[in-house]
């Protein structure tokens, strides 16, 4: 990608599942000048350093909560991928201020540091939990999304562009339900919170591709949402652990029956592309250069009314291709 040729990138939360796969892609393309992995886990940094063994990758210990540190780390940077977050829903519910400090105040620190250091582009990772949030994690990610989009308008004639990539459940990521199902299958039964539950599903490579698309096409002020298939959670259990019975335990606090990535309120500013949607800030929508395919009024993008669905065969094939099974 020409947008990355000779660029210096900072990846916050770079030792996570997405960061690992994204950095692999950057090194494979061999266009970037340097990648800085910014995270607070020294063990994961040590392990990733030993795995990559690349002179293009530099590791910086730090927390996005620490403005001085993120400001220092982003000096001379062309592009920031903000992937650092506190993601576990129960942990966020039980430690609300910790989630707010990382997900909201940390996002504010990234915005401020990027503007101060005249970073060219910032792409922040979001979650389907951020649309109509039902738990604190989703609420903090919604705040983070709002902060990132507002970053485009916080300073007149700022050279920094901010956009967001929002996606659903990632197959094979840390905390994925699939390893949980496989472990429970050994006990002879798999717990399901609600047999009606549906989710959006994508691979890490798909997530990386969407971030690459955002880097290449962003004007600043967009939320990128992939057009991906849905699948019932009971069907996931059946595919990954066939012939293992399931039992229903009830929805947990803060958990949704179905996920949503685009609300009806966003429909006037949502544009459809072949493989994704873009929710464009109302402040730039009238001037947006790619606004020819606006969705119908009242459109929403939900996992239960999605027009794309996995079959058992297609889901199993994707798991095999991703080396998850």
Q: Which residues are paired to 191 by β-bridges?
A: 247
Do residues 18 and 174 make contact, with C-beta atoms less than 8 angstroms apart? no
The CB-based long-range contact list for 283-287 (8 Å cut-off, 24+ gap) reads 283/152, 283/153, 283/221, 284/152, 284/219, 284/220, 284/221
Q: How many CB atoms lie within 10 A of CB 239?
A: 21
| Pairwise CA distance, residues 139 & 127, whole Å | 10
Q: Which residues are paired to 224 by β-bridges?
A: 165, 278
* Catalytic position from the list 44, 87, 121, 129: 129
Assess whether 129 carries a catalytic annotation.
Answer: yes
E strands, 155-262, in order: 161-165, 169-171, 190-192, 198-203, 222-226, 230-232, 246-248, 260-262
Do residues 276 and 223 make contact, with C-beta atoms less than 8 angstroms apart? no
Do residues 198 and 303 make contact, with C-beta atoms less than 8 angstroms apart? yes
Paired tokens of 152: 């485009």
262 Cβ contact list (under 8 Å, min separation 6): 131, 225, 270, 277, 279, 299, 300, 301
Which residue has 């599942």 as its token pair? Answer: 17
- Write down the H helix ranges in 62-123: 67-73, 89-94, 96-99, 106-116
Q: What positions carry a catalytic annotation?
A: 129
């Amino acid at each position: 990608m020409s947008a990355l040729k000779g660029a210096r990138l900072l990846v916050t939360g770079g030792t996570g599942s997405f960061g690992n796969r994204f950095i692999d892609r950057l090194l494979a393309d061999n266009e970037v000048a340097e990648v800085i992995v910014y995270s607070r886990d020294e063990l994961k940094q040590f392990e990733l350093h030993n795995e990559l063994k690349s002179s293009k990758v530099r590791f910086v210990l730090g927390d996005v909560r620490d403005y001085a540190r993120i400001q220092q780390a982003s000096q001379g940077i062309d592009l920031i991928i903000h992937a650092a977050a506190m993601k576990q829903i129960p942990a966020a519910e039980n430690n609300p201020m910790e989630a707010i400090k990382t997900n909201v105040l940390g996002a504010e620190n990234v915005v401020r540091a990027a503007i101060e250091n005249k970073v060219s582009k910032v792409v922040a990772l979001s979650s389907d939990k951020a649309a109509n949030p039902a738990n604190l994690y989703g609420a903090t990610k919604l705040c983070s999304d709002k902060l990132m989009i507002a970053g485009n308008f916080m300073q007149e004639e700022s050279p920094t562009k901010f956009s967001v990539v929002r996606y659903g459940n990632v197959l094979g990521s840390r905390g994925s339900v699939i390893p949980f199902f496989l472990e429970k299958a050994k006990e002879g039964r798999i717990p399901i919170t609600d047999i009606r539950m549906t989710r959006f599903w994508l691979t890490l490579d798909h997530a990386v591709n969407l971030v690459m698309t955002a880097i290449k096409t962003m004007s600043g002020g967009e939320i990128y949402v992939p057009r991906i298939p849905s699948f019932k959670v009971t069907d996931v259990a059946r595919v990954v652990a066939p012939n293992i019975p399931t039992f229903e335990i009830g929805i947990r606090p803060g958990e949704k029956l179905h996920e949503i990535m685009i609300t009806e309120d966003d429909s006037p500013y949502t544009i459809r592309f072949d493989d994704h949607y873009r929710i464009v800030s109302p402040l730039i929508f009238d001037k947006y250069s790619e606004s020819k395919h606006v969705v119908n009024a009242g459109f929403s993008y939900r996992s239960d009314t999605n027009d794309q669905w996995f079959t058992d065969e297609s889901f199993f094939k994707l798991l095999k291709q991703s080396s998850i099974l």
